Amino acid sequence: MSVKKDQDGRRSVCVEVEVPGTPEQVWQAIATGPGISAWFVPTTVEGGVGGETTSDFGGGMVASAKITAFDAPHRFAAEAPGWAEGMPPFATEWTVEAKSGDTCIVRVVHSMFASTDDWDGQLEGTENGWPGYFEVLRRYLARFAGQRSAQVQTISMVSLEGPAAWTKLATAMHIEGDRGREVTIDIAPGVTLAGTLGRVASAGNQHTVVLELSSPCPGTVYGGAFPCGGTMVSLQTYLYGDSAESIARELGPVLQEWVNGLFPAGS
């Protein structure tokens, strides 16, 4: 992976994934608030061109962007101000390309204009974050598209270095062995997360896992340790089905308490 640098100063990264579904089904997942919230972070999409997207990453981290293109079901683009002092505007473009057999290629391009390499790390960090979320997207479209969904965001900022934080989280989650292994995590008395081990990966300073959830209801857990002005330990739990919202309300505080126990304040 590397940043592409054009002569006009544009710098960009591109990530793509093949997913099941028609262009219309995929568009619902990548260009509407309910669709995006079902596999990424809670998001609203208001209006077409000139409107705004707002994404809540948890822990008070909220990002908004102005919609610059909205051509359903093929192309969706938005531009956000830089989130650090001196950072240039950050553009994101999504495209959906139909393939044979009711599958599509979803492609996301992030770009900015800069005269130095100072912000290339921001592009690379964003690029590294997509493969895990795309695993959640692919599973959502294959198994849960159109179902009611709810999400539990669990975040802890820690002073541990990323590898040490990841080792502690992975041990507590019993993340070992091959993909497809059954995993059971006792969160609290009578509260269990159970499922099948999916993708486990490291990219740059990010260490992540995907758990294909069967209990307390069907869903997906995407967790890991991420660089974020220190280290952010995050578990994003996506629940699907008619009971998803009620289960999320009960699970949220319990899961946050479990993570806080693993990583006490100041750890």
What is the reported pLDDT for 41?
Answer: 96
Residues 168 and 247 in one domain: yes
Is 51 within the bounds of a domain?
Answer: yes
pTM for this model (two decimals): 0.94
Residues 203 and 169 in one domain: yes
Mean pLDDT computed over every residue of the chain: 93
Residues 156 and 140 in one domain: no
Q: How far apart are CA 236 and CA 239, in angstroms?
A: 10
Residues 222 and 121 in one domain: no
Q: How far apart are CA 191 and CA 193, in angstroms?
A: 7
Measured in residues, the chain has a length of: 267
Residues 8 and 139 in one domain: yes
Residues 89 and 196 in one domain: no
The domain total for the chain is: 2
Q: How many CB atoms lie within 10 A of CB 65?
A: 20
Q: How far apart are CA 88 and CA 111, in angstroms?
A: 10
What is the reported pLDDT for 23?
Answer: 96
Residues 70 and 89 in one domain: yes
Residues 10 and 79 in one domain: yes
Which of these, 217, 20, 53, lies nearest to 44 by C-alpha position? 53
Which of these, 154, 146, 215, 141, lies nearest to 185 by C-alpha position? 215
Domain closes at, from 90, 121, 144 = 144
Residues 117 and 185 in one domain: no
Domain closes at, from 116, 144, 172 = 144
What is the reported pLDDT for 1?
Answer: 53
Residues 140 and 153 in one domain: no
Question: What is the residue-level pLDDT of the chain in tens, covering all 267 positions?
Answer: 589 999 999 999 999 999 999 999 999 999 999 999 999 999 999 989 999 999 999 888 899 999 999 999 999 999 999 877 888 999 999 999 999 889 999 999 999 998 888 888 889 888 988 999 999 999 999 999 999 999 999 999 999 999 999 999 999 999 987 899 999 999 999 999 999 999 999 887 889 999 999 999 999 999 999 988 789 999 999 999 999 999 999 999 999 999 999 998 767
Domain closes at, from 121, 144, 167 = 144
What is the reported pLDDT for 214?
Answer: 97
Is 84 within the bounds of a domain?
Answer: yes
Residues 121 and 157 in one domain: no
What's the domain range around 169? 149-262
Residues 12 and 139 in one domain: yes
Is 267 within the bounds of a domain?
Answer: no
The enclosing domain of 248 has a CATH number of 3.30.530.20
